[in-house]
Chain A
Amino acid sequence: MTTDVSPYHRKDLLTIGDLDREEILHILDNAKPFKDLFTRSVKKVPTLRGKTVLNLFYEPSTRTRTSFEIAAKRLSADVTNFAVSTSSVVKGESILDTIDTLQAMQVDYIIVRHSVSGVPEYIARHTHASVLNAGDGHHAHPTQALLDAFTFREVYPDMTGKRIVVAGDILHSRVARSVFEIMHLLGVEVATFGPATLVPRTIPSYVRILHSFEEVFEFDPHVLYLLRLQLERQKANFFPSMREYHNRYGVTTERFKTLRERGTWVMHPGPVNRGVELVDDVMTYERTLINHQVENGIATRMAILYHLTPQEPKRLPLPEEIRA
């Protein structure tokens, strides 16, 4: 007999570590029917009609914010962008005061990005709304990891025993942390590769550390996951130059040839620095999944919004004299 209801009552999505394998697979399974909607003449469903989704981005982001915005709109929610650079935050308002304000506006879902790890969790504790972590500091980016797992699973429906190499700047990457976690939970063998200065010692013990592209080819991953070199975070001389980085850690024309021969799939969370992480040719390679990741991002985020349940909002108590 088929089960008719989901056993989960989750308010927030803060890190992959909050989820177990079953819940992850449940979300990924649900993302598929959402993706199927994209081929219909009307791409919208009325599921979140009358609900309000707020994008609260303390860090600039166009892709993730837009992806969430489209996901929420396809669920018929009303979406508001809280532009932090023009808001009272600039005037010195504390996060908690901002949350109280949003709480009073009866927002149902808050999508948070912040440069400090732990801020989404802090916000989640102080609001009835469902909080979705859209990236906090170097800590976590769970929706990216879920859409990556969804994309991986489209290529390899059984992920167990498959291999992935996450390459690049691991130190500054919340994406890497979340991708490690989700791939490990789904039975994928995980390895990483990058400049020694950018591979932190705090890496989980199940992640194998590779030291050269020869070792990457020896590991023979099904998917090579390239991280964006965060140019804005490279002021501390972690490596000599961009050219040096490309030659040692990037996908050069020659390495691309090997990848193509082996049919290795390439993923990247975007935006891509052409000529740094990879050469131009990779962008048109038939096994580059970058654009699929973008499309799957919308479907996966729809499934995540559907998966979460905001708490019942509490009415603000009126002051005594008005109540009487």
Chain B
Amino acid sequence: MHEKKVMDAGAVKSAIQSLAAEIHAAHGDRPLAFVGIHTRGVPLADRLVRELRYRRDHIEQGTLDISLYRDDLDNLAALPTIEGSDIPFEVEGASILLCDDVLFTGRTIRAAINVLLDYGRPERIELAVLADRGHRELPIAATYAGITVPTRKEDYLRVHFKETDGEDRVIHYQSETS
């Protein structure tokens, strides 16, 4: 497989800053809850919150584990470990920003929406991702996307965050062209 660096630490940083600016432009100071999807949505939510902390009040933050809501448990070679969800705010009536590293088929986001709806009825749910790599299998779109990476379906796009992987970067593993 061919390895291509799509973003380095600097690019990741500026992408997150522009995501934060976009979110701020859309929401101003209205209450917003940042919810990171385990594993790499959590550091993304953290960083967005850090960017926006001094520009707005009313920041709520939570984490979401979707492993109990996956639609492919039967097909997995091994069960996902459960991290647990931590939603320390009232979901009923809240504006929620889901955060994840990569948007691909949309199935993770489908599951995340289902989890949130089991906590209550939010007023709205939006989605922020660092990278959108296409190939949706469900009618789901990112409200805010850091970058769009054209990929083939069998490729891998891996986001590395300092918190989870020691370093910020995005790598595109391209399958050999036949």
Contact = CB atoms under 8 A, between A and B. Distances in A.
B164 A6 contact: no
A6 B80 contact: yes
B18 interface: no
Given A4-B80, A30-B81, A47 B118 contact: no
Contacts of B166: 1
A4 B114 contact: no
Interface stretch (A35-43, A92-100, A273-281, A282-290): A35-43
A180 B130 CA distance: 50
Contacts of A204: none
A47 B78 contact: no
Nearest to B65: A33
Contact of A46 (B81, B84, B114, B164): B114
Contacts of A42: 117-119
A315 interface: no
Nearest to B67: A47
A9 interface: yes
A46 B69 contact: yes
Give the size range of A's interface with the partner: 20 to 34
A36 B77 CA distance: 26
Given A1-B165, A2-B164, A40-B119, A47 B81 contact: no
B84 to A, nearest CB: 3
B174 interface: no
Interface in B99-141: 114, 117-120
Given A41-B119, A47-B73, A33 B39 contact: no
Chain A interface helix/strand/loop/mixed: loop
A182 B5 CA distance: 49
Contacts of A47: 68-69, 73
Interface string B62-74: 0001001100010
B118 A306 contact: no
Contact of B69 (A8, A36, A45, A309): A45
Contacts of B82: 29-30, 33-34, 306
A41 B120 contact: yes
Contacts of B114: 46
A2 B81 CA distance: 10
A36 B84 contact: yes
A75 B67 CA distance: 12
B78 A36 contact: no
Nearest to B166: A1
A47 B69 CA distance: 6
Contacts, number: 62
A163 interface: no
B68 A7 contact: no
B151 interface: no
B56 to A, nearest CB: 27
B69 A9 contact: no
Interface string A163-205: 0000000000000000000000000000000000000000000
A5 B79 contact: yes
Contacts of B85: 33, 36
Contact of A6 (B69, B79, B118, B119): B79
A3 B76 CA distance: 15
A32 B118 contact: no
Contacts of A32: 84
Contacts of A5: 76-81
Interface string A1-24: 111111111000000000000000
A309 B75 CA distance: 11
Given A4-B39, A33-B84, A45 B118 contact: yes
A2 B78 contact: no
B8 interface: no
Nearest to A48: B73
B165 A6 contact: no
A47 to B, nearest CB: 4
Contacts of A46: 68-69, 114
Given A1-B164, A5-B77, 14 more contacts: A1-B166, A2-B39, A5-B79, A6-B81, A7-B78, A30-B81, A30-B82, A33-B68, A36-B85, A40-B119, A44-B118, A45-B69, A46-B69, A47-B69
11 contacts: A1-B164, A1-B166, A2-B83, A6-B79, A29-B82, A30-B81, A41-B119, A42-B117, A46-B114, A47-B73, A75-B68
* Closest 10 pairs between A and B when the two form their complex, measured CB to CB: A33-B84, A42-B118, A5-B78, A45-B68, A6-B79, A47-B68, A33-B82, A30-B82, A6-B81, A40-B119
